[in-house]
A and B are shown apart, each in its own frame.
Chain A
Amino acid sequence: DAGVIQSPRHEVTEMGQEVTLRCKPISGHDYLFWYRQTMMRGLELLIYFNNNVPIDDSGMPEDRFSAKMPNASFSTLKIQPSEPRDSAVYFCASSMADGYNEQFFGPGTRLTVL
């Protein structure tokens, strides 16, 4: 079975540019999570969705970040405009609503903002 799919795997952009990260969760999973990982702050939850509806976006750092989930098989995380401090690895994860809470992570997108 295919796991969580993310694209692109690597993104290098210049400050001020728009960046769009994409995620396809595991089929049948009800929850989708966006995380950001840096050396300094570790793995931080940005936002998560349940059945395509955003449940908690308290981790989104500022208005430059937005996330959507138009259907059960696709989500985007957009940064506009990007800044060098946004450089990090962004992970998408999904899980089933079975109470067990195991989250399956995608391979991540390594973002570098110059």
Chain B
Amino acid sequence: RKEVEQDPGPFNVPEGATVAFNCTYSNSASQSFFWYRQDCRKEPKLLMSVYSSGNEDGRFTAQLNRASQYISLLIRDSKLSDSATYLCAVTTGFQKLVFGTGTRLLVSP
């Protein structure tokens, strides 16, 4: 079993739709969780951290479920510019991140 698993997608949604991605992790000792965004042929960039109580940043909401060992990302009112690959990342040791393979999102007009 991979340490971090994601549905590769693609998720095809129309503009304005709400879409959610999940990411499961295998190491119950993991402490920090993140969502990164990666545009085509670009480097990953941090989208948001995921806190135990859940957190929101504009149209983006991240949740953590420790009992079931997954994190989620909800995007409301999707924009064309949200089209990208979304990578979840989990710490397995101090400063060491393990990334999922990413979920591709395509938002169409």
Contacts and interface: CB of A to CB of B under 8 A. Distances in A.
A34 interface: no
Interface of B is mostly: strand
10 contacts: A31-B95, A33-B97, A42-B99, A43-B87, A43-B99, A44-B99, A45-B97, A48-B96, A102-B46, A105-B45
Contact of A50 (B34, B44, B46, B95): B95
Given A42-B101, A43-B87, A106 B95 contact: no
Interface of A: 31, 33, 41-45, 48, 50, 56, 91, 95, 97, 100-108
Interface in B74-109: 87, 91, 93, 95-102
B98 A45 contact: yes
Interface of B: 32, 34, 42-46, 49, 87, 91, 93, 95-102
Contacts of A97: 95
A19 B85 CA distance: 29
Contacts of B43: 91, 105-108
Among all A-B residue pairs, the 4 with the closest Cβ atoms: A42-B101, A105-B43, A43-B99, A101-B32
A42 to B, nearest CB: 3
Given A91-B43, A105-B43, A107-B43, A56 B96 contact: yes
A100 B51 CA distance: 12
